[in-house]
Amino acid sequence: MNADSDHLHLAPPQILPPLPSEQLAMQRMSELVAQRIGSVLVMSPGRGQAAWQAPTLWPDASVVSWFVDSHRAAQAELAATQAGHQPSIVCAADLPTQTFDMAVLPVLKTGEAEMNRDLLQQAVQRLRIGGTLISAVNAANDHWLQAQMQALFPKVKCLRTEAGCIYEGTKKAELKKVRRFDSAIEFRVDDQLMTTFSRPSVFSHRSIDTAARIMIREVSISDHDNVLELGCGNGAVALAAASRSRHGRIYAVDCNTRAVECTRRGAEFNQLDNVTAILNHDGELDGQVQSCDLALLNPPYYGEFSIAKHFVNTAIRYVRDGGRIWIVTKQADNYHHQEWSGAIFDGATKVQGYDLICYRKM
């Protein structure tokens, strides 16, 4: 989930320029205009401007702009509409299964390495034989992305510029070896050994972070409690809550499609039929969530506290009067300095360097 206010109503964004890595990829696309391209897949870390450009180069091509995150997909759709474009935007855990003539992956030099490896491999799998993958990174001295491309293609073209590097590979054959990037994580809840799953881009991949373990260990959940978790990540906290509240309903919400997928997979694996995993970024959960006794929040620290505010205000909406909102954080002062409409401070404790804060809905 993500927001700049109590509920995320996307304001019309300024028409932003492409991110540097996407601009580099678009540069190479324009140089290939003479090629016959019938289908293009764009995996953008920004607003997906490469998907806007593709139809101007190949008017008859079908173009898909893919996002793993529903908030980013919504931002991209709004930006495209404002700029007068109508790309086909897909928000899903994996790339579309159709075959493409061209795939475009701009990579941020600060991006998640394992996610980019996953997307590079999937992109090659989706290309037809003879199809082209263009990747680019905003790092002039890059060697990492070059090595990834060389592992996937027998020959890789490379263009180095002051702004970054552009790589191009042509698919000659299907991949002989396909790596798996998902992970199973075991953890203990009371006397039970449970398993959850994670994938690249999911918080937290291949582990259960300390804040989640604190939430699992320190917050008491009764057998009939309805529980709302915002930002469920790999689902460990929601699954733990479901194991303790066998007669309640657990709502696990995230804007990352893979997080929702992993939580559903974990619920099925642990035979928990009281978990509802929901893809959502705007906090509008009417019709999907019943009144809850507890809300569990481990908000991300980026976004100048706007995301954390969105989490708390969403929790206040869906927790019953007298219900409690638990927050685990290292930024307690930010919460204490806010006046939360509809909730009052109900206590806090320090655990392993974190603050566990409780608010009660009035």
- Please indicate, yes or no, whether residues 164 and 192 belong to a single structural domain of this protein: no
In the chain, how many domains are there?
Answer: 2
Judgement on whether residues 152 and 288 belong to the same structural domain of the protein: no
State the pLDDT at residue 10.
52
Radius of gyration of the chain measured on its C-alpha atoms: 22
Give the domain-ending residue among 170, 203, 226: 170
- Residue 108: which residues within 8 A CB-CB, separation 6 or more? 19, 21, 45, 137, 138
195 shares its domain with 116: no
- Write out the residue range of the structural domain in which residue 288 sits: 183-361
Here the tokens at position 285 are 């959960």
If one counts every other C-beta atom within 10 angstroms of the C-beta of residue 295, the result is: 27
260 within some domain: yes
Q: Which of 34, 136, 27, 51 is nearest to 100 (CA)?
A: 51
Within-domain flag for 2:
no
For residue 287, being part of any structural domain is answered with yes
pLDDT at 237 (0 to 100):
99
State yes or no: pLDDT of 5 exceeds 50.
no
- What global pTM score does this model have? 0.94
Question: Quick check: is 12 in a domain?
Answer: no
Distance of alpha carbon 182 from the chain centroid: 15
| Local structure of 127: helix, strand or coil | strand
Do residue 294 and residue 187 come from a single domain? yes
Domain for residue 178, yes or no? no
Dihedrals phi, psi of 146, to nearest 5 degrees: -60, -45
Residues 148 and 264 in one domain: no
- Is the same domain home to 333 and 296? yes
Mean pLDDT of 85-105: 98
226 and 152 share a domain? no
Instruction: Return the percentage of the chain with pLDDT > 70, whole number.
Output: 96
Pick from 95, 78, 5: which is nearest to 341 by CA? 5
Of the three residues 135, 170, 205, the one that is the final residue of a domain is 170
For tokens 């790092």, the residue is 139
Residue 152 tokens, joined: 């996937």
The predicted-structure confidence for 113-140, as pLDDT tens digits, reads as follows 999 999 999 999 999 999 999 999 999 9
Instruction: Note whether 160 and 204 are same-domain residues.
Output: no
Beta-sheet pairing, 292-297 with 227-230: parallel
Note whether residue 177 is domain-resident.
Answer: no
pLDDT digits (tens, 9 = 90+) for 196-233: 999 999 999 999 999 999 999 999 999 999 999 999 99
Same domain, yes or no: 29 and 153? yes
> Is 97's pLDDT higher than 80?
yes
Which run of H or of E encompasses 350? strand 343-351
Cis peptide bond prior to 201, omega within 30° of 0: no
Give the C-alpha separation, 157 to 32, whole Å: 13
User: Residue 67: which CATH number?
Assistant: 3.40.50.150
- Kindly state whether residue 13 falls inside one of the protein's structural domains: no
Residues 291 and 157 both lie in one domain: no
205 shares a domain with 156: no
Q: How many other CB atoms are found less than 10 A from the CB of residue 98?
A: 10
pLDDT digits (tens, 9 = 90+) for 293-311: 999 999 998 778 999 999 9
User: Of 147, 170, 193, which residue sits at a domain end?
Assistant: 170
Task: Tell me what pLDDT residue 12 has.
Answer: 52
Nearest-CA neighbor of 357 among 348, 220, 210, 335?
348
CA distance 275 to 269: 12
pLDDT digits (tens, 9 = 90+) for 54-76: 999 999 999 999 999 999 999 99
Domain annotation covers residue 14: no
Together in a domain, 211 and 146: no
Instruction: Give CA–CA dist 123/109, Å, rounded.
Output: 19
Closest to 343 (Cα-Cα) out of 331, 326, 328, 356: 326
Nearest CA among 158, 134, 154, 138 for reference residue 146: 158
Is residue 259 pLDDT above 80, yes or no?
A: yes
